[in-house]
Chains A and B, each alone.
Chain A
Amino acid sequence: MNNSYIDEPMLEAYVYETSQIIETLEQLMIQSEKVGNFSADAINEIFRFMHTIKGSSAMMMFNEISTLAHKIEDIFYVIRENQGVKYDFSTLVDCILESVDYYKIELIKIRNGETPDGDTASLTDKVNDYLEMLKEDNGLKKTKKEKETKSEKDQKYYIRPSKKEDPAKYYKAKIMFKKDCEMENIRAYTVIHNIVDLVEEVLYKPSDIIDNDQSIDDIRANGFLMAIRSTSSEEDIRKYLEKTVFLESLDFGEAEEDWYKEFEVIYQDQEIHDDIKIPETSKKYIENQKVKKEKEDIKQEVTATTTQSIISVNVDKLDMLMDMVGELVIAEAMVSQNPEVVRLEIESFEKASRQLHKISSELQDMVMAIRMVALSTTFMKMHRIVRDMTRKLSKDVVLDVYGEETEVDKNIIEKIADPLMHIIRNAIDHGIEDGEDRVAKGKSKQGSIILEAKNSGSDVLIIIKDDGKGLDKQKIYEKAYNQGLIYQSIEDLNDKDIYRLILHPGFSMKEQVTEFSGRGVGMDVVAKNIESIGGSVIVDSVLGKGTTIILKIPLTLAIIEGMNIKVGESRFTIPIVSVKESFRPGSREIIRDPDGREMIMVRGLCYPIVKLYEYYGLRTDVKDYENGILIMVEEDDRSCCLLADELLGQQQVVVKSLPNYIKRYKQVKGLGGCTLLGDGSISLILDVGEFELSNVLDK
């Protein structure tokens, strides 16, 4: 296939638009399947989707894609045009989902600059068979033909109203496309669509080029005729028209006003029968009934479509913007907290710096918000997986989704789709039992998977919970022990450690036939993916009751509100969400257990103490509790108290990751990253979750 003439932006737009359509289509199918039929709206929408894909793919010369879309469009055409038609719903859904998968693969190929060469033969056959069956079943063999011929009239189509009286000239143009260029109507439409910027008004014939496939034959036979009124020079228009792709011949010249008027009169005498299809509005649902439209209406429609409210931006640019805002925040702090300026106590300076602070923090919020995307699309995809899996394994599983409106960073979304898929697949395949087994165990016949997302401090938690058979601790342990992954005895390991073994890359599933078989297929990939974005995976399970997998994902690259503390020469920053309180204890409140561990009693509750200088082996003069300060931190209802020398104050900081060199050496426990303080020095950010926290419960 020769794509040499396709310019990149066009291809990019095509891929973007088509993948969006495919995604929406997939969701629509899943929703429809839940209800058990297609609503009239859905049918129209699917029809329109396929139509768009057909058109744009043909434009891009992706013929296979286009043909398939055409066939599906035919099916929905029949369904749409014949109220109460009977059709095999589930086969149709399967058919279309299969096509959706095909499109996805092809789109990836196109994106990678390969030729979309997937074979559609079997798919097309399937769709064809279905269409034949559909027609036969309903005795509609001829309907389509009749419908099409019905609207075959010469209409003049009005694209752009004249806004002012001007000394415009009139031209006529006749375009003949090359033979076998296919989709002449779409190509003609492109010509019209792009020329409107150049001309005042353009009328053309045949007029219903988009909606009526018959117009192709017309254009092939008689050429595509345009009447143009324009203030642009003849040369400009000619040049534009000559650029038309697949142009065979162009007959262009100035025309008499009378001739134009005549053209126009024919147009005005006629009523517009067809609905208006304009690509920009095609996102919205346009009523597909034949509506008579007044000239005014069309005018509005056309202007409405010219305003675009969404643009797509390269993520790299956003990253850069994000970095720069980060630097700006640091620079702002450097200026407004400059000790020398602060000492001067200038009122106007304070006012101005407050204003600056307000603006920069709003700017920051905005940049963050731009990058945030709701999880809903990712979650939606899981419905599809559940559907396919339940079909294949003939299990009855329902997926409940909560908190899909939770927003996370764009980069993160891309990284969690695969892990989620793995986990859900595993849950259905190996977690949830067959219907009979479930009933025998006293569970409801229908298995359930709960997919939930929620914010928790500076993290987002994604919880996948099934009510299947759960993980068998003993068996996992034995397996791991035999494979030499662990050496400890089972008593020395706590449940979570054992469950975590399933994430171990070396934990092989071969020759496993029992309950947890397969659990772990791809689980190391899950762990790796999540860790690559700084998250963590927590596995919990109750044998016989089900398994819960929690993905803890940071809102990374975040600018966080942090509490700066000092230990000796080192500075640390604790995310403010983790800090509960800070206080200076008396030494009498400290309790020591026989092992020498220290605890403190606060309001009747006992908290463990972590001395930071001891923990990290730092040198400091402040070693006793009277001179230091305790900071109580909490994460996930687990808390501890950290001993530091002093508090330095609260500040917004940009989280930067530690240099790769250091990360390659060692994952230093409790360090989540680093940041620059106002004076340019570096502070290490503490990840409270990695300290030895303990459950402090009020009993």
Chain B
Amino acid sequence: MNEDMNGLLEDQEEDTQKGKFLTFSLGEESYGIDIMYVTEIIGIQPITVVPELPDFVKGIINLRGKIIAVMDARLKFNKAPKEYNDRTCIIVIDIAQLSIGIIVDAVAEVINISDDNIVPPPNLNSGGRKYIKSVGKSENSVILILDCEKLLDEQEIDELKSSND
């Protein structure tokens, strides 16, 4: 009986987060992040540069006493850099105890996308790095859903490491 209750509660908690995505824009495209990963959204703040890191890692910021790294999504996805303005946001995500800030052009909204409206991405970039987990349809727009784990992929880090060395 008790276990049933617990199971039910867990389900509910999962349900409230399931299918919800935080959308943000980078240039023309809309991207989405599973809300489960998102800790908070903050405005752009002064970033302390850490030397000898790849371009897209902008540096570190002080998030109320906690120091986290921030990466620029534009640079990460090989887009042209853009000057930060007051629309620029840092989305703080938390994956496997690793906090990181992602700098995006602007945060849009939190939307529901049902499973029926999520399709796997076309297999175009078989050779490249896949940061897109799936593609979601919402009303008239298409949202590229990010694969957060891949974003911080260890293997990729190793590659970078060896190329740096």
Contact = CB atoms under 8 A, between A and B. Distances in A.
Contacts of B65: 327, 330, 676
25 contacts: A327-B65, A617-B51, A617-B52, A658-B60, A659-B99, A659-B100, A660-B98, A661-B68, A661-B99, A661-B100, A662-B50, A662-B57, A662-B60, A665-B53, A665-B54, A665-B160, A665-B161, A666-B161, A671-B51, A674-B67, A676-B67, A680-B62, A681-B62, A682-B48, A682-B67
A668 interface: yes
A668 B51 contact: yes
A297 interface: no
Contacts of A179: none
Contact of B62 (A615, A617, A661, A676): A676
Nearest to B160: A665
A617 B97 CA distance: 31
B50 A671 contact: yes
Given A658-B67, A668-B53, 6 more contacts: A658-B69, A661-B98, A666-B53, A668-B51, A669-B52, A676-B62
Contacts of B46: 681
The 6 closest A-B pairs by CB, nearest first: A616-B51, A682-B48, A659-B69, A661-B69, A668-B52, A662-B69
Contacts of B100: 659, 661
A648 interface: no
A664 B157 contact: yes
B8 to A, nearest CB: 30
Interface string B54-66: 1001001110010
A616 B50 CA distance: 9
A120 to B, nearest CB: 41
Contacts of B62: 676, 680-682
Interface in A250-306: none
Interface in B124-164: 152, 154, 157, 160-161, 164
A114 interface: no
A662 B57 CA distance: 8
Contact of A682 (B57, B60, B97, B154): B60
Contacts of B99: 659, 661
Given A658-B67, A659-B99, A665 B157 contact: yes
B151 to A, nearest CB: 11
B49 interface: yes
Contact of B154 (A569, A664, A668): A664
Nearest to B152: A661
- A contact face: mostly helix, strand, loop, or mixed: mixed
Contacts of A680: 62
Nearest to B52: A668
Contacts of B164: 666
Contact of A684 (B48, B69, B152): B48
Interface residues of A, number: 28
A82 B60 CA distance: 72
Nearest to A675: B67
A656 interface: yes
A203 B65 CA distance: 60
For B48, B97, B154, B160, which residue has the most chain A Cβ atoms within 10 angstroms? B48
A618 interface: yes
Question: Which has the most chain B C-beta neighbours within 10 Å: A327, A615, A666, A668?
Answer: A666
Nearest to B47: A682
A570 interface: yes
Contacts of B154: 664
Nearest to B71: A661
A159 B53 CA distance: 71
A654 B132 CA distance: 39
Interface in B84-118: 97-100
A682 B67 CA distance: 8
Interface in A617-666: 617-618, 656, 658-662, 664-666
A665 B49 contact: no
B49 A569 contact: yes
B67 A665 contact: no
B57 to A, nearest CB: 7
B52 A674 contact: no
A562 to B, nearest CB: 16
Interface string A210-237: 0000000000000000000000000000
A571 B48 CA distance: 8
Contacts of B51: 615-618, 668, 671
Instruction: Pick the most buried of A327, A659, A662: most chain B CB atoms within 10 A of its CB.
Output: A659
A237 to B, nearest CB: 37
Contacts of A671: 50-51
Interface in A308-340: 327, 330
Nearest to A669: B52
A569 B57 CA distance: 17
B52 A666 contact: yes
A613 to B, nearest CB: 10
A684 B69 CA distance: 13
Nearest to A326: B65
Contacts of B161: 665-666
A656 B100 CA distance: 16
B48 A659 contact: no
A567 to B, nearest CB: 10
A683 B59 CA distance: 12
B7 to A, nearest CB: 26
A656 B53 CA distance: 19
Nearest to A616: B51
A219 B56 CA distance: 78
A67 to B, nearest CB: 41
B60 A570 contact: no
Contacts of B53: 662, 665-666, 668
Contacts of A674: 48, 60, 67
Interface in A585-628: 615-618
